[in-house]
Amino acid sequence: NAGVMQNPRHLVRRRGQEARLRCSPMKGHSHVYWYRQLPEEGLKFMVYLQKENIIDESGMPKERFSAEFPKEGPSILRIQQVVRGDSAAYFCASSEDSNIQYFGAGTRLSVL
Amino acid sequence: AQRVTQPEKLLSVFKGAPVELKCNYSYSGSPELFWYVQYSRQRLQLLLRHISRESIKGFTADLNKGETSFHLKKPFAQEEDSAMYYCALGFGYQNSGGGADGLTFGKGTHLIIQP
């Protein structure tokens, strides 16, 4: 089992561009979670998804951010019109039906 | 609102000395507490959870509901214990998806074990 796979590991965008972050959960896991980590901070929950459904998006910024987990393929976190404040590490986690979440290596987004 | 506090940003101890990483939480319901560890250049991984009551790599943590604490302890630190440690709070399954809710993390404690 390859574990939770995130790509790219590093992503550089200019202000106003779009960022797409991908996450493939562990095999057999149907629950995906996205977290954001700002410098010197802990991970902050953003959104929880199952296949084709957003279950809890209480931690997502109201504008420019969206997430999906289609029937086929990885989960995508999309940030439109990025700003410098979006620079952070974005982590994906997956779980099966337990409370144990397994984390990916993260995507480090830098906005110039 | 739920919150996790790790008061020490950095903790440095000598090899062989006891280690205690502090974690306090605020939550009105029945919490589930976790410790995650991130070694240098590795991904975040689960160290232990309170309901399993295991000892992993010599670490233990006891949930104290009266003090709302979940401190991580190890009697004799080893150099390979140097890492970032995050305390996290889970709330169970309050959503409609059948999976657990998202976790609330503390800011982390950087543990350095000196030789």
pLDDT for position B73: 95
Q: Tell me which residue has tokens 């059948």.
A: B98
How far apart are the C-alpha atoms of B96 and B98, rounded to whole Å?
A: 6
* pLDDT value for B28: 76
CB < 8 Å to A106, chain B: 43
- What confidence score (pLDDT) does residue A67 get? 97
Q: So what's the pLDDT on residue B8?
A: 95
- A19 with A82: CB under 8 angstroms? yes
> Are A33 and A25 spatial neighbours (Cβ–Cβ below 8 Å)?
no
Q: Tell me, what's the pLDDT at B67?
A: 92
Among partner residues A55, A98, A106, which is closest to B96 by beta-carbon distance? A55
- Residue A41, Cβ density class (10 Å: 0-12 exposed, 13-18 middle, ≥19 buried): middle
Task: Indicate if the pLDDT at residue B61 is higher than 70.
Answer: yes
Write the DSSP string, A32-72. EEEEEE-TTS-EEEEEEEETTEEEE-TTS-SSSEEEE--SS
Banded model confidence at residue B82, pLDDT cuts 50, 70, 90: very high
Contact A42, B107 (CB under 8 A): yes
**Predicted pLDDT at B90:** 86
> For chain A, which ranges sit under pLDDT 50?
none
A31:B97 CB<8 A: yes
B101 touches chain A (CB under 8 A): yes
Minimum distance, in Å, between the CA of residue B17 and any CA atom of chain A: 27
Segment B58-86 mean pLDDT: 94
Strands of chain B (E only): list them.
3-5, 10-14, 19-21, 24-26, 32-38, 45-49, 60-61, 72-74, 83-90, 104-105, 109-114
**Averaged pLDDT, B79-105:** 83
Q: Residue B96's pLDDT is what?
A: 63
pLDDT of residue A86: 96
